[in-house]
C-alpha cells in the first residue's frame, strides 16, 4: 500500500512523490531566528531527496530551540525516508504528545500509523489512525489507511500473518514456467497438463489469499463497521455504569 506522510511549514502544499510537503511559494528571506533558517534549509534538502542532510539541519534547529514544532515534525519524516522506523516512532510520538494544536497532533498520529504499517504492526497502526481521526475526523487519507490496517489486522487474527505473498507468488511463477517447459517436451499431454495446472493455480490462490486491495467504497464501509462496533461497546459500558438512571443519547458529531 502506498502511504502518504504529512510535513509541516508555514506555507503552501506541494505533492512530491509519496510525501506531502509544505513549501514556500516564493523566495522567503532568511529569518533573524537561526532555528527557522536551519529548518528552512532542512526543507530544501528534503525536497531534493537529501534526507540525511535534511535530518542534520532539523537537529541543528532543535539544538537551538527544543521542541520547535516544525523542525521536530519534519525530522520524523526525514528519518522515516531513511527507513529507521523505530526512531521514527519515537519522534512522531513526541510530536503528538508535545503539540496542543489538534491538526498537528492528527498529522503526527497519521505519520505514526504509516510508520507502523511499514513494519506490519497492524494493531498499533489501527490505534494511531484512530487517534489521528479523534483530532481531525475529516481526513480522508487517514480514514482509508485505518480501513486498510484494520483489514490486515483481521486477516492476521483469522489465522494469516497479514503479510504480502510476494515470495510465494514468485515460487508459483517459477513452478509455472517449469511446468510449461515440461509441457513443450510432452506435446501429447500438453492440453491435459495445462488444465490440471490451471486447477492447481486456482486452488493455491484460494488457500493463500491475496493482498487486500480496498476500493474507496469498501474502505468507507469497513470504517463505518469499525465505528458501529465502537459505538455499541461504548453504549454497553454506559448501561452497566448508569443502571437505573435516565440516559440522554446525543449525536456524536
DSSP letter string over 186-246? -GGGHHHHHHHHHHHHHHHHHHH-------HHHHHHHHHHHHHHHHHHHHHHHHHHTTTS-
- The whole-number pLDDT of residue 95 equals 95
Q: Does 119 or 173 have the greater pLDDT score?
A: 119
Stretch 10-24: mean pLDDT: 35
Res 182 pLDDT > 70: no
Distances (CA, A) of 176 to 119, 170, 185, 194, 250: 31, 10, 15, 10, 59
The torsion of the CA quartet 238, 242, 244, 250, rounded to 10 degrees, works out to: -60
Question: What nine digits make up the cell of 98?
Answer: 508535545
- What is residue 164's predicted lDDT score, i.e. its pLDDT? 52
- List CB contacts of 39: < 8 A, sequence separation 6 or more: 9, 57, 58, 61, 68, 70, 71, 74
Better pLDDT: 38 or 175: 38
Instruction: Tell me phi and psi for residue 16, to 5 degrees.
Output: -120, 110
Q: What are the angstrom distances between the C-alpha of 103 and each of 41, 128, 132, 138, 149?
A: 24, 14, 9, 11, 21
| 174 or 129, which is more confident | 129
Average pLDDT over residues 162-178: 57
- Please tell me the predicted confidence (pLDDT) of residue 184: 56
Query: So what's the pLDDT on residue 218?
Result: 73
Q: Which of 3-17, 91-105, 235-249 has the lowest mean pLDDT?
A: 3-17
What is the rounded CA–CA span in Å between residue 37 and residue 52?
A: 17
Return the minimum-mean-pLDDT range out of 40-49, 59-68, 236-245.
Answer: 236-245
What's the pTM value of the predicted model, to 2 decimals? 0.63
pLDDT at 111 over 70: yes
> For the chain, how are helix, strand and coil distributed in percent, rounded to 5?
70, 5, 30
Calpha distance 84→220 (Å, rounded): 31
Spatial separation of the C-alpha atoms in residues 252 and 249, rounded to whole Å: 9
Going by pLDDT thresholds of 50, 70 and 90, the confidence category of residue 220 is confident
| Mean pLDDT value of segment 241-253 | 42
- Rounded to the nearest 10 degrees, the angle between the axes of helix 51-64 and helix 69-81 is 150
pLDDT of res. 20: 41
- Distance from C-alpha of 37 to C-alpha of 24, rounded to nearest angstrom: 13
Confidence (pLDDT) at 147 = 95
Domains and CATH numbers, the chain: 1-24+31-82 (1.25.40.10), 85-158+214-231 (1.25.40.10)
Which pLDDT belongs to residue 251? 37
Would the pLDDT of 72 be above 90? Answer: yes
pLDDT tier for residue 200 given thresholds of 50, 70 and 90: low
> Mean pLDDT throughout 218-244?
69
- Mean pLDDT (whole number) for 169-181: 60
Structural Rg of the chain based on CA atoms: 24
Average of per-residue pLDDT values in the chain: 75
Of 31 and 33, the structure prediction assigns the larger pLDDT to 33
Per-residue pLDDT at 190: 54
- Between the alpha carbon of residue 211 and those of residues 64, 151, 155, 160, 161, the distances in Å are 46, 10, 10, 11, 11
- Confirm if 110 and 129 have CB atoms less than 8 A apart: yes
Amino acid at each position: 500500500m502506498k502511504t502518504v506522510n504529512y510535513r509541516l511549514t508555514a506555507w503552501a502544499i506541494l505533492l512530491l512523490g509519496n510525501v506531502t510537503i509544505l513549501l514556500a511559494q516564493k523566495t522567503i528571506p532568511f529569518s533573524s531566528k537561526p532555528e527557522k533558517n536551519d529548518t528552512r534549509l532542512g526543507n530544501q534538502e528534503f525536497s531534493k531527496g537529501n534526507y540525511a542532510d535534511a535530518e542534520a539541519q532539523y537537529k541543528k534547529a532543535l539544538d537551538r530551540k527544543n521542541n520547535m514544532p516544525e523542525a521536530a515534525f519534519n525530522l520524523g519524516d526525514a528519518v522515516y525516508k531513511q527507513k529507521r522506523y523505530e526512531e521514527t516512532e519515537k519522534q512522531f510520538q513526541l510530536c503528538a504528545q508535545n503539540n496542543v494544536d489538534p491538526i498537528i497532533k492528527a498529522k503526527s498520529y497519521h505519520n505514526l500509523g504509516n510508520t507502523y504499517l511499514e513494519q506490519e504492526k497492524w494493531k498499533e497502526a489501527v490505534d494511531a489512525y484512530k487517534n489521528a481521526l479523534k483530532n481531525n475526523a475529516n481526513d480522508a487519507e487517514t480514514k482509508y489507511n485505518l480501513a486498510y490496517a484494520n483489514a490486515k489486522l483481521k486477516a492476521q487474527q483469522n489465522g494469516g500473518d497479514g503479510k504480502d505473498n510476494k515470495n510465494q507468488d514468485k515460487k508459483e511463477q517459477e513452478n509455472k514456467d517449469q511446468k510449461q517447459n515440461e509441457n513443450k517436451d510432452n506435446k501429447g499431454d500438453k492440453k491435459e497438463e495445462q488444465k490440471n495446472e490451471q486447477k492447481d493455480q486456482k486452488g493455491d490462490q484460494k488457500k493463500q489469499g491475496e493482498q487486500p486491495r480496498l476500493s474507496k467504497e469498501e474502505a468507507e464501509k469497513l470504517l463505518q463497521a469499525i465505528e458501529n462496533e465502537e459505538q455499541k461497546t461504548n453504549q454497553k459500558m454506559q448501561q452497566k455504569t448508569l443502571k437505573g438512571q435516565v440516559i440522554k443519547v446525543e449525536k456524536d458529531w
